[in-house]
Structure 1
Amino acid sequence: MANELQRQAYLSALGIENYMPRMILPFAPPSVVCELPISVAAQEPSLLQDKFAPTSLSPITLTPLAAPVGNSVASEILADVAPVKKLTVPINAASILDQFETKKAPVIEPFALSLWRPAPGFLIVDSRNSSLALPTELLLNNLLRTFLPTIKPDLREEVMRWPMIENRFVSRTADDARNELQTWLAVENELRPINRLWLMGDNAARYLLDAEIKPADVYWQEHVLNSTGTGVNSLRAIILPSLVELLQQPRLKAHFWASVK
């Protein structure tokens, strides 16, 4: 190649640093040392190619190879196993937050229950309402004197508040209250076996019965409670209105006597 600059450009494009011909062709002109300018090395390759491009190049015709036998069958197989492109779903901040946001159960307000043990094996759980100054203990005393005529009932009241442990980091859902109170009842039954149980009012029945039972639908009825969770010991509880409801609606006392007798 007589044009040394053009030869150096081709060798540089091919990544060849040093080139030495093995033989000299006959009638070839003698090689002349070419001094390359310093600015040529600093120029972009595209500029060098444009500057030292050959004036005329004969086009090269590529003859396609014959298709191998069974190429169409292979193409069909590859087309079947080709991965299916997933549909692109727009991603935004709202969709990301929806994925990480968990729907929490509603928090219930703290409440209190009144406990009485008028006789051995007899437990009364009443839904306490301290905001109303009503003579609930006097009503309970009259009811028990009629229900237990031969026994002097013990009317020492115990107040059980929920949550039992004040901790703002603990969740306070209906399931939490139900699990905690049912566990308490199971332990109470183990320590002091219960053979008669009154659940009076909404809170007493709602959290000591199963979650699917509505207290208002089972008033005046008797339910079997599995206090231990293993089926070994079972409690029979009568679901009754609270003492406050009996005072506010005296006509309910007739249903009360029909249920407890």
Structure 2
Amino acid sequence: MLIESRRRAYLNAMQVVHWLPRTELPFAAPSRPELLLPLAPEVLPEFDAPQVEPARVAVNAPVARSGERPKIEIPRPGSTAKAASKPVEEAEAAPVVARPVAVPPPRFALQLLRAGSCLLLVELATGQPFQSRDPSYLLLKDMLRAAGLPDSPQIVGEPVRWPLLVRGNLDQGPQAATDFVQGFIQARLEEAPCVCLWLIGLPAVRFAGEADAEAYYRELPVEGLGTAWALPGLELLMDEPQRKADVWQAMRRLMARWKPSDE
């Protein structure tokens, strides 16, 4: 009979790691219980399926008797398919984050003029500076005469055209346009203040007065610019002459701001 040390030497020489005797060997060391159970078969995962870990064997598992086969639990294919479908369901249920839509820069041209103690920010509908015989410029001269102001306003600086750049990554959205227009007017007010700022045309009302068409004919307190008067554009007044009556009524209420009294 072989003693235990020699038996293990023979097994190591034959590269036998685990072995199980058919009968109880004399003088043999007691076997470890976990070595008596066969390993669970390896389950090949499907595509993109998570690996299924084999069931762990308890250390204190009962020793299998000779002639009895231990029961092995094999994962069912259905459970693997359910596990594989969970990541897909979670991916489908994840909320889709919408990308912010890029707002195109506004397009307008404004001209600043000075008439007496008032500044006029006027929309250039065609984008070109006023000409002496333009119908819109002649209408502006009539409005200034009715208001008691000089009918030959002085041009202050170059027209403000937006967007500033055709290309580039510079922010040229509505808020940037508002900051630029208001900063341009504030710089002119530091040179020579005014008693009332006329905002003629929707771009002037929107980007200088931060208002919309509902503010026409009304006074607007604008921070940093003082009191502004919102008016429709000259082209709109020519297309809709009935608006001139509303301009005249509002002008009569505000005329005391820039026209000194005779007293």
TM interval, shorter chain, is: 0.5 to 0.7
Question: Could you say which structure has the larger radius of gyration?
Answer: 1
| TM-score normalised according to structure 2 size | 0.59
Aligned residue identity for 1:123: L
Give the Cα separation in 1 of the matches to 2:94 and 2:173.
27
**2:103 aligns to what?**
106
Q: Spell out the pairing of 1:122-201 with structure 2 (5 A cutoff).
A: 122-130=118-126, 135-148=135-148, 151=150, 153-156=152-155, 158-164=158-164, 167-201=167-201
Please state how far the C-alpha of 1:166 moved relative to its aligned partner.
5.2
Q: Deviations over 1:97-151 (max 9, x none)?
A: x55x6414511342211221122x31111222117996111111122122226x4
CA distance in 2, matches of 1:175, 1:161: 15
Q: Secondary structure at the match of 1:175?
A: helix
Q: Deviations over 1:160-197 (max 9, x none)?
A: 11234555211221112112212222222222212111
Q: Secondary structure at the match of 2:18?
A: helix
Is 1:202 equivalent to 2:202 in the alignment? yes
C-alpha distance 183-175 of structure 1, shift in aligned 2 (>3 A): same
Contact 2:106 / 2:174 at 8 angstroms: preserved in 1?
no
Does the CA contact (< 8 Å) of 2:121 and 2:200 recur in 1? yes
Q: Distance in 1 between matches of 2:165 and 2:194?
A: 25
Maintained 8 Å contact 1:118/1:153? yes
Unpaired runs of 5+ in structure 2?
25-29, 34-58, 61-85, 253-263
Distance in 2 (CA, whole Å) between partners of 1:128 and 1:184 is 17
Following TM superposition, by how much is the alpha carbon of 1:219 offset from its aligned partner in structure 2, in angstroms? 0.9
Q: What is the distance in 2 between the residues matched to 1:6 and 1:144?
A: 120
The CA distance in 1 between the partners of 2:172 and 2:222, in whole Å, is 23
**Which has the larger displacement, 107-116 or 160-169?**
160-169
- Pick aligned residue for 2:218 from 221, 225, 232: 221
The number of aligned residues is 190
1:207-235 CA distances to partner (integer Å, 9 max, x unpaired)?
A: 1123xx4x2211111011101xxxxxx51
Aligned-residue identity in percent: 22
| Residue identity matched to 2:125 | N
In structure 1, list runs of 5 or more residues that go unmatched.
Answer: 13-35, 42-46, 63-86, 228-233
Distance change (3 Å), C-alpha of 1:56 and 1:177: farther
When structure 1 is superposed on structure 2, of 103-112 and 156-165 the one drifting more is 156-165
**Equivalent residue for 1:245?**
236
Q: Are the aligned partners of 2:111 and 2:155 in contact in 1 as well (CA < 8 Å)?
A: no
